[in-house]
């Protein structure tokens, strides 16, 4: 006797129905997870570290884009840092140094493949303690703001990290993580504004700031910034 799917009778039908239901439930859970992802930004400084604007920094994109929002955001952050009182290396100087040495900073990058990518301007590569110190020396800065940005398909920000790293010790002074809302994207100007507000709080002595979007669409920063009015 040749066995066909019909040989399984009612049992085969039950199994098939179970698999269909399981697939549907899995799809619903997956779509629900995507739909409920809310805007999230956490800013935290290293323990026992005092953040001060009395330093000179350079903004270093860990992944480079030639056009669009991912390329714009690190440049825009220069404006915010200047507004907060930091001294920032001018962008053209930064690119000139990278162009001249092709980031082959006497072992500043980890391997030949990374060196080739860096020389082509495709990828900065993962910075280590040696490369951070060498880059800081060449640029004459106290710290590097290392940015890593994941764009959306329509040229917005999906995820991003920003780390201010001491160029001498490679210690992370503070770190910011951004995860955008999947269904209601927060525009880049609001992201920049919130990053600036969070860094301001670090300068005022806060340890950790969590920023979320409320039901009205407003970004709530906790703890709230308290403006000190002059008498």
- Provide the edge-to-edge strand list for the sheet that holds 56-61: 87-88, 56-61, 143-151, 157-166, 172-179, 40-45, 208-213, 219-222
Separation of alpha carbons 224 and 13, rounded Å: 59
Asked whether the CA dihedral 62, 63, 67, 73 is positive or negative, the reply is negative
Q: Is residue 45 within 8 Å of residue 51, measured between CB atoms?
A: yes
Mean pLDDT, all residues of the chain: 75
Strand partners, 209: 43
Per-residue model confidence (pLDDT) at position 183? 83
**pLDDT of 34 over the 80 cut:** no
Strands 219-222 and 56-61: unpaired
Strands 208-213 and 219-222: antiparallel
Over the stretch 50-92, which tens digit does the pLDDT of each residue have? Answer: 899 999 999 988 876 667 888 899 989 999 999 999 999 876 6
**pLDDT of 123 over the 60 cut:** no
DSSP 16-76: HHHHHHHHHHHHHHHHHHHHTPPPEEEEEEPTT----S-SEEEEEESB--SSSHHHHHHHH
Separation of alpha carbons 165 and 133, rounded Å: 10
Find the mean pLDDT for residues 34-49. Answer: 81
pTM of structure: 0.70
Compare 152 and 127 and report the one with higher pLDDT. 152
For the ranges 15-19, 61-65, 100-104, the lowest mean pLDDT is seen at: 100-104
**pLDDT of 137 over the 50 cut:** yes
The confidence band for 129, taking pLDDT boundaries of 50, 70 and 90, is confident
CA atoms within 13 A on the CB side of 68: 13
Per-residue model confidence (pLDDT) at position 9? 56
Per-residue model confidence (pLDDT) at position 127? 67
- Sorted by where each starts, the structural domains of the chain and their CATH numbers stand as 39-222 (3.40.50.10610)
Per-residue model confidence (pLDDT) at position 22? 53
How many other C-beta atoms are found inside a 10 Å radius of the C-beta of residue 181?
16
Q: Reply yes or no: is the peptide bond before residue 223 cis, omega within 30 of 0.
A: yes
Over the stretch 172-226, which tens digit does the pLDDT of each residue have? Answer: 999 999 999 888 888 999 999 999 999 999 999 999 998 877 666 677 766 544 3
**pLDDT of 111 over the 60 cut:** no
């Amino acid at each position: 006797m040749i066995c066909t799917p019909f040989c399984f009778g009612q049992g085969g039908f039950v199994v098939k129905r179970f698999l269909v239901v399981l697939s549907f439930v899995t799809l619903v859970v997956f779509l629900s997870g995507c739909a409920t992802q809310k805007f999230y930004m956490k800013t935290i400084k290293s323990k026992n570290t005092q953040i001060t604007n009395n330093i000179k920094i350079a903004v270093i994109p860990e992944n480079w884009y030639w056009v669009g929002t991912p390329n714009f955001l690190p440049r825009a952050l220069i404006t915010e840092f200047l507004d907060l009182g930091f001294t920032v290396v001018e962008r053209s100087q930064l690119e000139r140094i990278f162009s001249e040495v092709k980031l082959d900073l006497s072992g500043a990058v980890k391997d030949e493949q990374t060196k080739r990518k860096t020389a082509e301007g495709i990828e900065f590569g993962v910075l280590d303690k040696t490369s951070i110190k060498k880059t800081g020396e060449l640029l004459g800065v106290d710290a590097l703001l290392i940015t890593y940005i994941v764009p959306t398909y329509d040229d917005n920000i999906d995820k991003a990290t920003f780390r201010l790293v001491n160029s001498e010790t490679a210690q992370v002074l503070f770190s910011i993580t951004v995860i955008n809302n999947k269904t209601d994207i927060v525009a880049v100007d609001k992201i920049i504004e919130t990053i600036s507000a969070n860094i301001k709080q670090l300068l005022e002595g806060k340890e950790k700031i969590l920023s979320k979007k409320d039901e009205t669409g407003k970004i709530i920063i906790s703890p709230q910034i308290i403006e000190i009015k002059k008498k």
